[in-house]
Amino acid sequence: MTDLSAFSLAGRTVLVTGANTGIGQGIALAIGRAGGNVIGAGRSSMDETAALFDKASGGTARFTARKVDLADHKAAQAMLDEAWDTQGPLDGIVNNAGIIRRADAIDFTEADWDDVMDVNLKSTFFLCQAYARRVLQSGGRTGKVVNIASMLSFQGGIRVASYTSSKSGVLGLTRLLACEWGAKGINVNAIAPGYIETNNTEALRNDPDRSAQILERIPAGRWGEPCDIGDAAVFLLARASDYMHGAVIPVDGGWLAR
């Protein structure tokens, strides 16, 4: 038994996809505050996250950016393998990267369906697969997988057919992988964010009527912040959650309770 807090990530390295902004950035910074190193993966610049991470961690942890198009699952797998080979074994992975397309279901295009499913679900599965292979091949290692689901893993929503389908799939995938890998030393769990202040919700927040409707249903009375999700991710990456498998934690201000 280690002397470190059960919530500490000191000495651990975690891959976080989509760490350039929003929830991914919030998760990366929370890991840094808990003492963990982060490899941020995505196609956008992560200079801002790197600067904020250095402050959050007090310089005691390291942030490394890796550029990759996560819509290309083979490129994503290759990135994970290269990170493992060059920076050492990964103690965890957070599948956060996601995109959204909005249109009435009757008008939804194949491109908008495929684009979202490729990033949100297909890449998530194959990154989980690539990570589990490395953990299991290393002999005796354990690992943590945290998938970012959504309120729309439980509900239908409107005008986001591919997003709802992908996030429902993420929840089902999390449970399946937990069943397959739980006895092999790999924890697979998920977080279901509620309405968080990110780029993906900007359109909703800029719509006075829709924003008011959303806030009326949230018992906490506010939109969530990326750090709210980040702290939950730290819990699922740390020793404190070692007996959790296939769980989904709603971080939603009470949305599902109402």
Instruction: Please write the tens of the pLDDT for every residue from 113-164.
Output: 999 999 999 999 999 999 999 999 998 899 999 999 999 999 999 999 999 9
Residue 163 known to be catalytic: yes
Q: Long-range contacts made by residues 112-116, C-beta under 8 angstroms, separation at least 24?
A: 112/162, 113/161, 113/162, 114/162, 115/71, 115/162, 116/162, 116/163, 116/166
For 28-74, write each residue's pLDDT tens digit.
999 999 999 999 999 999 999 999 999 999 999 999 999 999 999 99
Whether pLDDT at 1 is above 50: no
**How confident is the model at residue 3, as a pLDDT?**
64
The more confidently predicted of residues 198 and 15 is: 15
**How confident is the model at residue 234, as a pLDDT?**
98
Q: 13-257 has which fold?
A: Rossmann fold (3.40.50)
Residue 65, beta-bridge partner list: 40
**How confident is the model at residue 139, as a pLDDT?**
87
d(CA 205, CA 200): 10
**Residues in contact with 240: Cβ distance below 8 Å, sequence separation at least 6, in sequence order:** 6, 7
**How confident is the model at residue 2, as a pLDDT?**
54
Query: Which member of 131, 163, 195, 243 is catalytic?
Result: 163
Write the single-letter amino acid at 46. Answer: M
User: Can you give the pTM of this predicted structure?
Assistant: 0.96
**How confident is the model at residue 100, as a pLDDT?**
93
- What are the two backbone dihedrals, phi and then psi, of residue 58, each rounded to the nearest 5 degrees? 65, 25
For 175-217, write each residue's pLDDT tens digit.
999 999 999 999 999 999 999 998 878 888 999 998 999 999 9
